[in-house]
Amino acid sequence: MNLEAFVLGCGGMAPLPNRHLTSVLLRREGELFLFDCGEGTQVSLRRLNLRWKKITAIFISHTHADHVTGLPGLLMLSSQVERDDPLYIFGPPKIAEYIEESRRVLDMYINYEIIVKEVTEPGVVYGGEDFYIRAFPLRHTKPCYGYTLEETDRPGEFHPEKAKELQVPMGPLWAKLQAGQAVENSEGTIVQPEDVLGPKRSGRKFTFVTDTLAFPAIANEAKGSDLFICEGMFEQALMESAIEKRHMTAEQAGHLAKMAGAGKLGLIHYSPRYTDYDLKNLLREARAVFPNTVLTKDRMVFPMEYVD
């Protein structure tokens, strides 16, 4: 099953010519989930040539302009395709008001249902058959949430030789065992799936954290993430200013990634004070703590593979 993250915008506060505002799209076997929607989101979607007009759900960290100003246009243009399923939008209080008022003032024509759910406490906000998306509180100047998408464990590897040994003939019974059901073998004995399957294999995990102070609970939430997208707004020399503005430094993001045992850290939401050249300092500082760190850039793609 394919799982990829597309960085649509990596900038914080103000858009720059080569940095749209923060937004990441996750594509899981064709289903789309959007995390934040800053200015420029649509431009990146178009340049990536993604078929994006049927996003399943949008997850908003907080209602600061640099995270939501791309939404009205995106909602409006999503009406260019027919859809039966509603679009879910999750975010802290004020998100519903922001969407309702934008629709009213802009006289937006929308041909599908939008279901807005305000997030006020940590917990699972959305789920499918084999994955769930969880929200958890961050510490910023207004209510702000981080999100994880986590897949449930997959069945273990099927061992055909064991099935043969246990007198289960090849065919539909094998498929049942693979799907986790017990079957009767040719001698009338019950064979359990665990008799022929290896240990359960882990799913993948994606974490999105932006606009927050760094604090240990973030690492707990992000634990075991294959890809951890985290704000790296400032260099270490501006730590005081970062704390005052309730943001974090790239190095702090590195510490969180290390504590979380993440596979890869993708920094995002850079202060516009830094040129692309300056960002190398942020990368160096984060890598000193967590070597597998990258600077995300607009339209960068991160395929996420199964570990086992």
Catalytic residues: 66
Residue 85 near residue 128 (C-beta atoms within 8 A): no
The distance of closest approach from Cβ of residue 207 to Zn ion in the complex, given in angstroms and rounded to an integer, is: 17
The distance of closest approach from Cβ of residue 237 to Zn ion in the complex, given in angstroms and rounded to an integer, is: 20
Q: Map residue 214 onto helix, strand or coil.
A: coil
Contact between 204 and Zn ion per CB under 5 A: no
Site string for Zn ion, 4-23 (x = CB under 5 A): --------x-----------
Contact between 66 and Zn ion per CB under 5 A: yes
Question: Which of 150, 151, 211, 298 touches Zn ion by CB under 5 A?
Answer: 211
The four Cα atoms 180, 184, 189, 193 give a dihedral, to 10 degrees, of: -10
Part in contact with Zn ion (CB under 5 A); list of ranges 63-71, 174-182, 221-229, 284-292: 63-71
Residue 122 near residue 143 (C-beta atoms within 8 A): no
* C-alpha to C-alpha distance for 91 and 62, rounded to whole angstroms: 6
Which residue sits closest to Zn ion, CB atoms considered? 64
| 63/148 with CB nearer Zn ion | 63
| 39/151 with CB nearer Zn ion | 39
| 87/256 with CB nearer Zn ion | 256
| 63/78 with CB nearer Zn ion | 63
Token couple for 228: 């951890």
Question: Which of 19, 64, 134, 255 touches Zn ion by CB under 5 A?
Answer: 64
Segments in the chain forming alpha helices (H) = 41-47, 65-68, 71-77, 95-105, 160-165, 172-178, 193-196, 216-221, 239-244, 250-260, 279-289
Part in contact with Zn ion (CB under 5 A); list of ranges 65-73, 118-126, 216-224, 291-299: 65-73
The distance of closest approach from Cβ of residue 211 to Zn ion in the complex, given in angstroms and rounded to an integer, is: 4
Q: Which residues contact 201 (CB under 8 A, 6 or more apart)?
A: 153, 154, 155, 156, 157, 306, 308
End-to-end Cα distance, the chain: 13
| 64/134 with CB nearer Zn ion | 64
Site of interaction with Zn ion (CB under 5 A): 12, 64, 66, 211
